[in-house]
Amino acid sequence: MQCATCGAEGKGNFCSACGAPLRTKACPGCGVEVLASSKFCTGCGQALEDAEKEPRRDSGREPPAGSRPGGNAKQAWWAAGVMMFLLLLALGYPVLSRSDGPPAGGAAPPGMGVDRGSSGLVDLTTMPVDSQATVLFNRVMTSSSIGDTADVGFFLPKAILIHEQLNPTDPDGLYHFALLHQVGGDDEAALTKARQGLAEVPDYLLLLAVAAESLVNLGEEEEAAELYRRFLEVYDEEMELMRPGYEHHQPVFPAYRARAEEFLGRG
């Protein structure tokens, strides 16, 4: 097929010349280009499938917070940024490079490399899928933590697509997947991924926290309170267990705990 961004012929998920997703469509609500398979717009949070099936009608009622441009998505970006900021600073994650043209030596297409300092760019497509998922997740979280919504909008569809290909089933992988959806304002999808992991490990703190936050964004505060209470009840025991994935996210646990206490009125 032909890339809509640069016109080059290509196949697969991304253009080999410029790195842009090959399958995209425009959101009818805000015009942002999203992947053709996307169920929700990463710009305004509108449900794309419903918008395609029937024309939008003005019901005379104010839309829910999650469907208003800048509402739920902006809330989710802020929440994810706060929770991940200390973690990102502490671990010093590698950063993708989004440039206007190919690097000297022509290794990687724009938006698909990792900044390795003097060594130049490394093509993401040469990495295993799990490594691609990690690098893209790190870039989205870094950009979200500093409020760079343009960068989030550029890399988030790629990160979600790679995670769909990877299809993680472990709690830490599902936490990453859920958090990506939450950053994009898709709290329903975030909750689905979190619940998938909690069905296997009911006390996994990171999944309890992200599920509770999504429930708050969806207006389900009673159920969110139950998860936050569970989070606080098992917190000390879980931190002693140090389940797989916990060691990589140490700086973010106090922020999640403070959020739970604040929500329950204990802080």
Q: Which residue has the tokens 């469509």?
A: 25
* 110, part of any domain: yes
Instruction: Report the pLDDT value the prediction gives residue 266, as an integer from 0 to 100.
Output: 81
Instruction: Report the pLDDT value the prediction gives residue 64, as an integer from 0 to 100.
Output: 43
Domain, as residue range, for 227: 68-263
Q: How far apart are CA 139 and CA 136, in angstroms?
A: 5
Residues of the chain with pLDDT under 50: 51-71, 73-74, 76-120
* 194, part of any domain: yes
Instruction: Report the pLDDT value the prediction gives residue 258, as an integer from 0 to 100.
Output: 95
* 101, part of any domain: yes
Measure CA of the first residue to CA of the last residue in the chain; give whole Å.
55
* 83, part of any domain: yes
Instruction: Report the pLDDT value the prediction gives residue 171, as an integer from 0 to 100.
Output: 96
- Give the CATH number, domain containing residue 207: 1.25.40.10
Cβ atoms of 131 and 125 within 8 Å: the answer is no
Closest CA to 113 of 89, 90, 88, 139: 139
The pTM for the full model equals: 0.59
* 26, part of any domain: no
Q: How many structural domains comprise the chain? A: 1
Instruction: Report the pLDDT value the prediction gives residue 212, as an integer from 0 to 100.
Output: 97
Instruction: Report the pLDDT value the prediction gives residue 33, as an integer from 0 to 100.
Output: 66
* 39, part of any domain: no
* 223, part of any domain: yes
